[in-house]
Amino acid sequence: MNAQQKTLAQKCLDAAEGDTMTFPQIISALTEGGFEGYAVDLRRSVAVYYLLTGSSVELPMHDVGGEVKEVFDAGALQSAVREAQQLVAGYTYKGFCAKAKAAGCAGYMVSFSGRRVVYFGRTAETHLEVFPSAA
């Protein structure tokens, strides 16, 4: 991974946390930069960005506090995802992460080529979201 790609990953993480780029914009930028996906660990507050070549960079992210709830509530998580997709008034990525943790989400993996996100709980329950079709 070169310095430009590391800078791009950091820029996209900062943009997510600062609510200055949408999820589709971040996916587009990372894909163009040679990334195939990323993973977020809400327990450790880190994001790992993966290149097609197999190399990766791990970046620290904000800590929204609190613990990941033991019980995985897919309905509550899906509600938080819908708020993000619709960019409801008051939406923030940090708020999304807090809601995800409260719903028992320990982290998630994003696959650009698979066009999906797999959210997982502490005991490996999962919830799958397929990227919305471009309108």
**Residue 12 domain flag:** yes
Please, what is the average pLDDT of the chain? 93
Q: What does the pLDDT look like over 80-117, one tens digit per residue?
A: 999 988 888 889 999 999 999 999 999 999 999 999 99
Total domains present in the chain = 1
In angstroms, rounded to a whole number, what is the distance separating the alpha carbons of residues 32 and 21?
Answer: 15
Q: Walk across the sheet containing 56-60 and list its strands.
A: 56-60, 46-51, 35-41, 105-111, 116-121, 126-130
Buried b (16+ CB within 10 A) or exposed e, 38-61: bbbbbeeebbbbbbeeeebbeeeb
Torsion of CA 74, 40, 116, 72, to 10 degrees: -10
User: What global pTM score does this model have?
Assistant: 0.91
- State residue 87's pLDDT score: 81
Q: Which single residue is written with the structure tokens 């197999």?
A: 54
pLDDT at 4: 95
Residue 40: the pLDDT is 97
CATH number, domain with residue 100:
3.30.1810.10
> For residue 133, what pLDDT is reported?
65
pLDDT at position 53 is 92
Q: What is the pLDDT of residue 71?
A: 95
Q: What is the pLDDT of residue 131?
A: 86
Evaluate whether residue 135 is within a structural domain: no
Task: Look up the domain containing 27 and give its range.
Answer: 3-130
- List CB contacts of 86: < 8 A, sequence separation 6 or more: none
The list of the chain residues with pLDDT below 70 reads 133-135
Confidence (pLDDT) at 135: 47
Distance in angstroms (rounded) separating the CA atoms of residues 130 and 133? 9
Are the CB atoms for 122 and 106 separated by under 8 Å? yes
Distance CA 14, CA 8 (A): 10
The verdict on residue 7 lying in a domain is yes
Residue 89 has a pLDDT of 87
pLDDT of residue 134: 55
